[in-house]
């Protein structure tokens, strides 16, 4: 454990997107509350995403009057918008929708290498934790001698599978419908269509391969997971892959207060009081919550199938509709919203949603999710069964963990990232999770039990608590040896 006389100092640099900024902010809080001096580095436009969280944490630290705790500091790095032709202030990938803008955004973060190295030299931390997408930070680590720990944002099953992804796709015949990811603790049978975007997009595949190579030469990796969730893959990563990793999650559990759950990540279109009043009026476990993350775009036909399924299911629901889906859908959505809202069956949230607040309410009985790792962990820590609808990236691997290994959810049945799911299928899978029946009850029971194991992992004496202790002690020992 770091001491006040010589606190361990770590700089944190997340990728510039909500799905990376928020879990990294939670990682910072976890480290800070264990006596580590933490500096969070981001660009000016992204400060508002995390500043309220750090302000609350710092007030708590000050109230404790504990000399071993150091307030979190935020440092800024300029984002090179003008150099790549991006509008001033567009510094978050979550708000980039056009493919051409995406390309410019990635060009911009490549230009952050020299400014980052300058910041690192000025701050001179004992170590830094950077996002896996900042591959060049491994070179900066080599030049400065400051150890780099990578933060990938995935669980270890997906991390282990993706580590082999470039090998699989390089030799995957075009006619192959299914394939098994080799060399893993479990047999993961995947459909070719789930990864066709990887095979077609050579640039993405090359970037993932390079990220993995740079993470492999780094000091180690921080994993937002816990041993009881992925024990076989923790052993696989350590003994077979042969790389260091510390499981310190689920870090989202540091958000305990109502204000932390309701305001995490930004403002929403619905007030907390209104939302809680509606949820409080519903039976325990009766509400279906639908959210596909910040980046997924749903076709109009699929969008309507989901809406019809929800209407016909006669289930109460909260549906988060992202801004990318509002253009062209607004008129139709307004009519649907008016009808279901009049019946007091629905709340439709346009834009950002207080997901933690919703999932942790007793009225919520199922989460229809894209299986992003942040959402997966938020459901697990809330004890809510999942209806899995992966749409890309590592989400199909996460589905395997949720449905086949943990058995805390049911798959919607996506075999192709472009597949259209029919209304009747959506209705049936929703009912299989929230309805009555032996299997539904067993799924709900497993979800509740997993929630308790997650909470135990981050408490003193738990697996994640101990792993974080081990990492802090190892970094202090390394610093003292170097000095």
Residues in CB range of 259: below 8 A, 6 or more apart: 56
* Torsion on CA atoms 125, 469, 256, 405, rounded to nearest 10: 110
Q: What is the full DSSP assignment across 6-53?
A: S--EEEEE--SSHHHHHHHHHHHHHHHTTT-EEEEEE-GGGHHHHHHH
DSSP 405: I
Residue among 359, 340, 368 nearest 425 (CA) = 368
Residue 129, Cβ density class (10 Å: 0-12 exposed, 13-18 middle, ≥19 buried): buried
Catalytic residues: 20, 131
Residues in CB range of 53: below 8 A, 6 or more apart: 25, 26, 29, 260, 264
Residues in CB range of 383: below 8 A, 6 or more apart: 447, 448, 450, 451, 452
DSSP 198: H
Q: How big is the chain by its Cα radius of gyration, in Å?
A: 22
H/E stretch holding 356 reads: helix 355-359
* Whole-angstrom distance, CA of residue 24 vs CA of residue 261: 16
* Whole-angstrom distance, CA of residue 113 vs CA of residue 83: 14
Residue among 10, 32, 11, 12 nearest 20 (CA) = 12
């Amino acid at each position: 454990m770091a001491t006040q006389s010589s606190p361990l100092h770590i700089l944190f640099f997340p990728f510039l997107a909500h799905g990376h900024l928020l879990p990294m902010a939670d990682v910072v809080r976890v480290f800070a509350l264990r006596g580590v001096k933490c500096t969070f580095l981001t660009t000016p436009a992204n400060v508002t995403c995390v500043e309220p969280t750090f302000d609350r944490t710092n007030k708590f630290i000050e109230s404790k009057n504990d000399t071993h705790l150091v307030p979190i500091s935020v440092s800024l790095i300029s984002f090179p918008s003008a150099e790549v032709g991006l509008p001033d202030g567009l510094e978050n990938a979550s708000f980039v929708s056009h493919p051409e803008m995406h390309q410019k955004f990635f060009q911009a973060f490549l230009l952050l290498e020299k400014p980052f190295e300058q910041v690192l030299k000025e701050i001179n931390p004992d170590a830094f934790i950077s996002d896996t997408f900042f591959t060049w930070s491994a070179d900066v680590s080599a030049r400065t001698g400051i150890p780099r720990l990578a933060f990938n944002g995935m669980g270890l099953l997906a991390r282990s599978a993706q580590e082999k992804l470039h090998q699989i796709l390089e030799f995957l015949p075009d006619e192959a419908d299914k394939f098994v990811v080799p060399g893993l603790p479990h047999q993961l049978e995947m459909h070719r269509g789930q990864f066709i975007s990887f095979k077609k997009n050579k640039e993405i595949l090359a970037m993932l391969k390079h990220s993995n190579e740079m993470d492999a030469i780094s000091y180690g990796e921080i994993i937002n997971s816990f041993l009881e969730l992925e024990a076989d893959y923790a052993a696989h990563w350590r003994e077979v892959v042969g790389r260091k990793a510390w499981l310190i999650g689920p870090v989202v559990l540091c958000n305990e207060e109502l204000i932390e759950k309701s305001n995490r990540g930004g403002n929403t279109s619905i007030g907390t009081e209104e939302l809680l009043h509606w949820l409080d009026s519903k039976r325990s476990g009766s509400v279906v919550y639908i959210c596909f993350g910040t980046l997924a775009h749903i076709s109009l036909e699929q969008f309507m199938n989901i809406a019809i399924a929800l209407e016909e299911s006669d289930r109460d629901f909260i549906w988060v509709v992202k801004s990318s889906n509002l253009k062209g859908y607004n008129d139709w959505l307004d009519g649907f919203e008016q009808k279901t809202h009049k019946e007091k069956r629905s709340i439709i949230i346009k834009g950002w949603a207080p997901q933690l607040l919703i999932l942790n309410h007793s009225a919520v009985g199922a989460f229809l999710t894209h299986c992003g790792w942040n959402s997966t962990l938020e459901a697990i820590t809330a004890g809510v069964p999942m209806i899995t609808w992966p749409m890309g990236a590592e989400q199909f691997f996460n589905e395997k963990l949720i449905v086949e290994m943990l058995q805390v959810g049911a798959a919607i049945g996506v075999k192709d990232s472009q597949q259209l799911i029919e209304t009747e299928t959506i209705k049936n899978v929703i009912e299989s999770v929230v309805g009555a029946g032996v299997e539904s009850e067993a799924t709900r029971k497993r979800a509740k039990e997993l929630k308790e194991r997650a909470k135990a992992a981050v408490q003193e004496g738990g697996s994640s608590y101990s792993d974080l202790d081990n990492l802090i002690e190892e970094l202090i020992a390394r610093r003292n040896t170097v000095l």
